[in-house]
Amino acid sequence: MSVNKPIVVPCIDIQGGQVVQLVQGRERALVGPDPLEMLELFAGFPEIQIIDLDAAMGIGENFEIIEMLTSKATCRVGGGVRSAERARQLVDLGAHRVIVGTAAFTPAFDDIVAEIGSEKIVVALDSKAGSVVVNGWNTTLQTTAIEAISRFAEMCSGFLCTYGDKEGMMQGTDLTWFAQLRGATSLPITAAGGITTLDDVRALLDMNIDAAIGMAVYTGSLSLNALAMLMQQ
């Protein structure tokens, strides 16, 4: 098991310069406050997750906002990391870790690891109906997240595992699935997708899994104060 105490990781997803939340990775559900305002709200948390949705969708980037956020907080950053060059750009912008999703399953991943080092990489494993999905969840791979964890164990510093079946739907998550993932590696795991209640978060932290929080915070169903207190227990 990882020796680091598990944490709650608030998420800032950026699209067109705005903080947004999507349902099922596609449909915009809400627009949040200004990015800097969100960062101030999240000031009590040790690490923030930033996803550049425009870069992920190949329609632009939000480098200025990312650089501003990384200058003020410890941030893991992802979205559109398809090459060693993009990974290096994010590190140079101040990313503490770089989240690599689809590209982890391409030949480019070896170049990314060589460029920034495995210690800077978090591999994102998005799962729907039991299989890993890539390319904006449009392509289903013939592998499970547990199988992928074994494949990448020597090439990253941890995993961001999203339970896509419930992502953004505020219907709870699959704690049994996350427990199985926890049993597959000693590297840090961050859980995402459907985390809705304090009980969900508490259960994940008890498994030594970080909890990435998005929709539940933006809709007000989870209190930032309650989450901060939970981490201190």
CATH of the domain at 54: 3.20.20.70
Note whether residue 1 is domain-resident: no
Residue 24, amino acid: Q
So what's the pLDDT on residue 3?
A: 52
d(CA 207, CA 221) in angstroms, rounded, equals: 23
Distances (CA, A) of 206 to 76, 124, 146: 22, 22, 20
Q: Do the beta carbons of residue 21 and residue 214 sit within 8 Å?
A: yes
So what's the pLDDT on residue 62?
A: 96
Note whether residue 44 is domain-resident: yes
d(CA 101, CA 84) in angstroms, rounded, equals: 13
So what's the pLDDT on residue 170?
A: 60
Note whether residue 133 is domain-resident: yes
Q: Do the beta carbons of residue 184 and residue 159 sit within 8 Å?
A: no
So what's the pLDDT on residue 167?
A: 60
For the segment 49-90, what is each residue's pLDDT rounded down to a tens digit? 999 999 988 899 999 999 999 999 999 999 999 999 999 999
SS3 for 95? coil
Domain that holds residue 56: 8-232
* Number of independent structural domains in the chain: 1
Note whether residue 49 is domain-resident: yes
Note whether residue 2 is domain-resident: no
Note whether residue 108 is domain-resident: yes
d(CA 20, CA 28) in angstroms, rounded, equals: 7
Note whether residue 142 is domain-resident: yes
By annotation, the residues acting in catalysis are 13, 126
7's tokens: 């944490």
Q: Do the beta carbons of residue 200 and residue 154 sit within 8 Å?
A: no
The strand ranges marked E within 138-213 are 139-140, 158-163, 189-192, 210-213
For the chain, which ranges sit under pLDDT 50?
1-2
**Reported pTM:** 0.93
SS3 for 45? coil
So what's the pLDDT on residue 85?
A: 97
Give 176's contacts (C-beta < 8 A, 6+ positions apart). none
Other Cβ atoms within 10 Å of 24 Cβ, number: 15
SS3 for 89? helix
